[in-house]
Amino acid sequence: MLYAGFMSAALPSFPQPEESLGTPPVLDVGTASDEPCLRADAARNRARLLEAASRLIAEHGAAGVTMEAVAAAAGVGKGTVFRRFGDRTGLLLALLDHSARTLQADFMGGPPPLGPGAPPVDRLRAFGLAVLYRYVEQLDLQLAAQPEASRRFAHPFQQALQTHVTMLLRQIRPGADCELLAHTLLASLDPALISHLTRQRGMPLERLEKGWVDLVARVTGTDV
């Protein structure tokens, strides 16, 4: 398996409120914009709700995560869950945030080729494979957390991915429309597409890995 070392064995544990990734603001995937600085008690309640939701996913899958079920598992009123996350999609996106922070830390400051220190085309290849592995690992949750079109591309993590790929492409192909090319590349890593190809079409993960490497080569005009 290509770059197999990037595939983690399990979902990371949820961060405690005091954890901080320390990444540049443009790539910050912290709490939602309407709650930039939670009080300590609110942060603890948020962590407790996320822990309850993670237990429900482990026991029943993403379909078992409803606002009512999370409230009951956490021992709070349903209104508390709605006030904290807005709706089910907001809750599911919050569940993905810690994993997003981990991936972001890897491509911002981890070891090469995913992190700094490798040629940009090698970093781009490694980046796509790392995202692919992460999405396959969390596919049910990724699918359940898909927001509507008006929210999907505005999510901080999606913007972080877009910014990173655009930056790498500008180093490789400075004369190209790198912003648009970044959208095109990321579209090939869409969780719904991955689900269709692997579950409905029966494609092995190795084929998707090779497909990403080939796509990067064709877009950047470099060798595989």
pLDDT interval class at 26 (50, 70, 90)? very low
pLDDT digits (tens, 9 = 90+) for 1-22: 444 444 433 444 433 333 333 3
Give me the pLDDT at residue 187, please: 96
Report how far apart, in Å, the C-alpha atoms of 155 and of each of 15, 93, 96 are: 20, 9, 12
Q: Which of 102, 150, 131, 151 is nearest to 193 (CA)?
A: 131
Query: What is the three-class DSSP state of 29?
Result: coil
pLDDT at 123 over 70: yes
Give me the pLDDT at residue 38, please: 54
Q: What is the DSSP letter of 27?
A: G
* Residue 64 burial (C-beta neighbours within 10 Å; 0-12, 13-18, 19+): middle
Average pLDDT in the chain: 82
173 backbone φψ class: left, alpha, beta (φ>0; ψ -120 to 50) = beta
Full-prediction pTM beyond 0.75?
no
Give me the pLDDT at residue 174, please: 95
Higher pLDDT, 119 or 43: 119
Rank 61-75, 114-128, 146-160 by mean pLDDT and report only the highest: 114-128
